[in-house]
A = this chain, B = another copy of it.
Amino acid sequence: MTPEPCARIGIDIGGTSTEALMLNDRGSIEAEVQLDTEPGIEAVLDTVERAVAILSERSGRSLSDFVSLGIGIPGQVDHERGIVRHAYNIGVDELALASAVQGRIGIPVSLDNDVTAAAIGAAQLMQLDGSVAYLNLGTGIAAGFVIDGQPMRGAHGVTGEIGHLAIDPRGRACPCGQRGCLETVASGSALRSFWRADANGRLLMSELAAGDPGAEDAFEALVTGAATAVRLLVLTLDPHTVVIGGGLRMLGAPLLDGIRDTLDAWAAASPFLANLNMSARILPLPANSPAAAVGAALSYRG
């Protein structure tokens, strides 16, 4: 079989692992690889280069068969200039990542915030029209937006940083310097700070199953915070769909049901909110959907 002429690579660089995949020109995933993320500029560049080599090998394509490489990365991303700033959890303060990668592998590179990339990928994978808000419940909490197929990247690369909206003047101090940020309530880092230092989605699930009261309180706080985020997204952008994704999505149906029940309880107390049909707008990202890597692959516009 003759290789497709316009295969695209998408890479999602996360705090712990890097997911890379190759889309053929029908948009299907043809090869995938997952690598550990090592912190620091050189390590990140090496990992990207290694991922591309593995995708090339697994797909039987040469580098010249790839028309573009898109990268999703946490931090403040200047998409136009291909620069990422403040990507602290991968040990990068500021880096012209697009040109650095392009220099190494010779393919045009585009850069997006990972949550924006996930919003692009979710809209594509779930075939969502209209306006889509993607709510990422992971180590932090943030959102990405796609309106009629167009990602909203904002003026300074901070679109959807809703984790640092203060929702309670008497809330917990946030590492960002504010108090009562949404992220201090509804995020993996919040679970670790107010429940258990070793908290993650899997542990929370097993402790919930075991009936641990602390786990139930933590879960309740997470659900309320996530519902707060959905209300915020609906009252700001009024999207057709709010996709729930991120690492804590693994909590599954109880998480989704909990968010919907919370929104419905609020609606029952407020005719204004009832009118918004908030819970009906929510959809979970399907399990094992590499939304950010797919979105990164689709993000490049040559």
Contacts and interface: CB of A to CB of B under 8 A. Distances in A.
Contacts of A266: 178
Interface string A264-284: 001001111101110001000
A96 interface: no
A154 B275 contact: no
A278 to B, nearest CB: 10
A188 interface: no
A269 B178 contact: yes
B272 A177 contact: yes
Contacts of A159: 236-238
A95 interface: no
A157 interface: yes
A86 B270 CA distance: 14
B178 A238 contact: no
Contacts of A292: none
Interface stretch (A30-38, A58-66, A165-173, A245-253): A165-173
Interface in A51-91: 76, 86
A17 B159 CA distance: 36
B130 A160 contact: no
A190 interface: no
A131 interface: yes
A235 B193 CA distance: 23
A272 B175 CA distance: 9
A270 B160 contact: no
Interface string A222-238: 00000010011111111
A147 interface: yes
A241 to B, nearest CB: 8
Given A76-B275, A162-B236, A169-B168, A270 B155 contact: no
Given A237-B159, A240-B155, A164 B232 contact: no
B273 A177 contact: yes
B178 A270 contact: yes
A141 to B, nearest CB: 12
Nearest to A267: B177
A86 B275 contact: yes
B162 A235 contact: yes
Interface in A167-198: 167-170, 176-178
A139 to B, nearest CB: 15
A158 interface: yes
The 10 closest A-B pairs by CB, nearest first: A154-B238, A177-B270, A176-B272, A155-B240, A159-B238, A161-B235, A158-B238, A236-B236, A177-B269, A178-B270
Given A162-B235, A168-B168, A176-B270, 13 more contacts: A76-B275, A131-B152, A131-B155, A154-B237, A154-B239, A155-B238, A155-B240, A160-B238, A161-B238, A162-B236, A164-B235, A165-B235, A168-B169
